[in-house]
A and B are shown apart, each in its own frame.
Chain A
């Protein structure tokens, strides 16, 4: 029987010729990733049972990106624990301050994660590496600790739900809209425990940053992972970055799927997820009058240079509405530098925006732009849960960067088309 790309990668990790959905396997891990919040707990677990060394100092990656630059004294203490852990362990991939970025973009940009890898991370959006054809999934800190000690972890081979996207995308519609639309269709547990496999002719021509947004948000449909079969676009992205040899896997023609969902993208408009679930989506034409107080662009979901270019193309020569605070979060220092070279930072400053260093910041209600009671934000992040960006009675709406930028100018949620812009 044929296997899916996910099954093939997991079989390789388990040292088996084949695996099938539901099978419990022990798989060797290529990478284990953690951030300031999750590594602190994992490091304590190692200490508790007296483990002195991680299994391989080159395969445990730590990025201090959530509550950094240290948002308060407790966060500073937490980062100190993690920094000390990274130094004692002699981790070769440790990122903070001047070389920091939002963890997932750091791993992708620096070729630390490569196609065909099996990766677990102490962060639910670890599923993002499926964009380049790796199997990756989020785990809690105890799983992370176990993985750091043994270099292995048990998995139940997930069933796969295949999504086939066909047709040409409308103007201002990208990967973020496709994934929001999909979650809107299947719900926040529509792919619970499953692997989402993204295919179809629309996907064949979808640029890498669109794939990033889609794989990133697989968890928002409850999935274990989200994956794209590597192709020319993948090759172009990983060559020159990959720090290790990589392998492209693909699903067999006779692979078994739990379900196949076909989506014609021709009629899909830019999507906006209303509070308080990513599945609560509406077409931009059906949003109505939703005034906003804040617009946050960037984060792991939409913090690439392409995302910033998209936002800047809308903001160029325009001023942000007087009621709106525009905050920009470049994904990494490298993206920040590139945005500077291209003059994008100037566009943001001229429009009245504030540019932050790379951090998860307000996305998870950390710092750098929280909301007061009753305030509303549009954000290019991935979650709009109750109180996600601040006060429990504040609201977050999710969109792509172009919609967010246009909304910042309009003072309410709207589209670049309303500003007379054509894609």
Chain B
């Protein structure tokens, strides 16, 4: 699958409270959560990010809480994928589990500025910066995680396992 969109650049250690402020944890619907996604960090993002746009962040993206509302709000916003230098581990697991594509690449983070136009091949992990013409390769997704994605997330994976 290919996703094309504008890069929204964020710094390091973007935590789950910043991705989705806790005061909205009494909401559960993804579109409702999406309205507040990253609003304290970049109010413009919450208002203007479009379907297919891409979040590019430095190290330790998603650190903090285990509350899945954070990745759900990003997915609900229609973000095509998140590229980061590294991810916090609970966020990493949860993103795969709910089917939010994420890619790790330090070189891509260094070579992409806010507002650049990107094209990402999720199957191969190739990240093209259409603004600069540069290309980057993300760390390949472990085969086991790929299986979960192919089953449509962890619940799909469990459902399949329960059937067999």
**B15 beta carbon closer than 8 Å to chain A:** yes
Q: Determine which of B25, B86, B93 lies in contact with A143 in the assembled complex, contact meaning CB atoms within 8 Å.
A: B93
**Chain A-chain B contacts (Cβ-Cβ < 8 Å), number:** 134
B158 & A383 in contact (Cβ 8 Å cutoff): no
**B13 beta carbon closer than 8 Å to chain A:** yes
**B67 beta carbon closer than 8 Å to chain A:** yes
A25-56 CB contact bits vs B (8 Å, 1 = yes)? 00000000000011011001100110000000
CA distance A365 to B59 in the complex (A): 25
Chain A proximity of B37: nearest CB distance (Å): 14
**B22 beta carbon closer than 8 Å to chain A:** yes
CA distance A146 to B17 in the complex (A): 24
A71 nearest CB neighbor, chain B only: B26
A37 & B17 in contact (Cβ 8 Å cutoff): no
Number of residues from A at the complex interface, CB < 8 A: 50
Number of residues from B at the complex interface, CB < 8 A: 42
Q: Determine which of B28, B65, B93, B153 lies in contact with A41 in the assembled complex, contact meaning CB atoms within 8 Å.
A: B28
**A139 beta carbon closer than 8 Å to chain B:** yes
CA distance A192 to B54 in the complex (A): 24
Q: Determine which of B17, B66, B68, B153 lies in contact with A383 in the assembled complex, contact meaning CB atoms within 8 Å.
A: B17
A154-B144, A392-B40 known; A192 vs B154 contact (CB < 8 Å):
no
B66-104 CB contact bits vs A (8 Å, 1 = yes)? 111101100000000000001011100110011000000
**A364 beta carbon closer than 8 Å to chain B:** yes
A140-B90, A189-B88 known; A75 vs B40 contact (CB < 8 Å):
no
A146 & B66 in contact (Cβ 8 Å cutoff): no
CA distance A146 to B157 in the complex (A): 9
Residues of B within 8 A of A123 (CB): 65-66
A74 & B26 in contact (Cβ 8 Å cutoff): yes
**B21 beta carbon closer than 8 Å to chain A:** yes
Chain B proximity of A55: nearest CB distance (Å): 11
A139-B93, A146-B155 known; A387 vs B18 contact (CB < 8 Å):
yes
**A72 beta carbon closer than 8 Å to chain B:** yes
A365 nearest CB neighbor, chain B only: B22
**A301 beta carbon closer than 8 Å to chain B:** no
A142-B98, A145-B155, A192-B60 known; A72 vs B66 contact (CB < 8 Å):
no
Q: Which residues of B contact A (CB under 8 A)?
A: 13, 15, 17-18, 21-23, 25-28, 40-41, 59-60, 63-69, 71-72, 86, 88-90, 93-94, 97-98, 142, 144, 153-155, 157-159, 161-162
Taking A138-B66, A150-B162, A277-B13 as known contacts, 20 extra A-B pairs with beta carbons closer than 8 A to each other, sorted by chain A number, are A37-B69, A41-B68, A67-B25, A67-B26, A140-B71, A140-B90, A141-B67, A142-B98, A142-B153, A145-B154, A145-B155, A150-B158, A222-B63, A222-B88, A224-B89, A365-B23, A366-B22, A386-B17, A386-B40, A392-B21
